[in-house]
Amino acid sequence: MTFNDRASTLSLLTSRRSGKARDMVAPGPDADELAAMLAAAMRVPDHGKLAPWRFVVVAAGARAALEAALVESYTAEKPEAGRAELEAMRSFAHHAPCLIVLMARLREESHIPLWEQQLSVGAAAMQLLNAGHALGYVGNWLTGWPAYSEAVAARLGEAGERVAGFFFFGTAAKPLEERPRPEPGAVVRHWTG
């Protein structure tokens, strides 16, 4: 790796920011780009080689099925749901050209603490976002009700998996807003003994 490669990699990491999934348009990652993003996401620290992450790529043609799964799960849990709530579920299912659902598949029986397994899932999430950014796409990690519904997790994943997040990728339809970032002094301490 040359000095310039290193500098541009760092600049990539410090320039990433999220876009709003609902404002993403085509193009999104193609099949090769998606494979590259997933490869990056699988190359994360993973104590005990447990691979506590699974990636569910939602096929472009499966968005209507996702909408049905969200609406059915939501109304089963909240039979009194109003139209606006259901509309939010419907539109969530159709955001952005590309959607990957990251599932945490934690191994309770392992001697590796669950906390460490969860950290590895978070690392996979971050690699996914950074890889998407490296390819020129904007990403957005969303959770909300769909990520905490056991019914949704059962429809999207396998037994024992929970949703770590919905990762939307595409092209930003409008300029991204910067958000306030913490000053290094507020979050970095130098421990000197």
Ligand X SMILES: Cc1cc2nc3c(=O)[nH]c(=O)nc-3n(C[C@H](O)[C@H](O)[C@H](O)COP(=O)(O)O)c2cc1C
Under the rule (CB under 6 A), what is the footprint of ligand X? 17-18, 140-144, 165, 179
Count CB neighbours of 21 within 10 A. 22
Comparing CB distances to ligand X, the nearer of 61 and 184 is 184
Q: What is the DSSP letter of 65?
A: H
Smallest distance from the beta carbon of 60 to ligand X, in angstroms? 22
The encoded tokens of residue 153 equal: 């997790």
Q: What is the DSSP letter of 79?
A: T
Smallest distance from the beta carbon of 90 to ligand X, in angstroms? 16
Comparing CB distances to ligand X, the nearer of 75 and 145 is 145
Comparing CB distances to ligand X, the nearer of 30 and 150 is 150
Residue whose beta carbon is closest to ligand X: 18
Return the C-alpha torsion angle 75, 77, 81, 83, nearest 10: -40
- Collapse the DSSP code of 143 into the 3-class scheme (helix H, G, I; strand E, B; otherwise coil) and give the result: coil
Between CA 19 and CA 168 the distance in angstroms is: 9
Amino acid making up residue 192: T
Smallest distance from the beta carbon of 185 to ligand X, in angstroms? 19
Smallest distance from the beta carbon of 5 to ligand X, in angstroms? 24
Comparing CB distances to ligand X, the nearer of 38 and 104 is 104
Between CA 188 and CA 69 the distance in angstroms is: 43
Comparing CB distances to ligand X, the nearer of 34 and 142 is 142
Smallest distance from the beta carbon of 170 to ligand X, in angstroms? 14
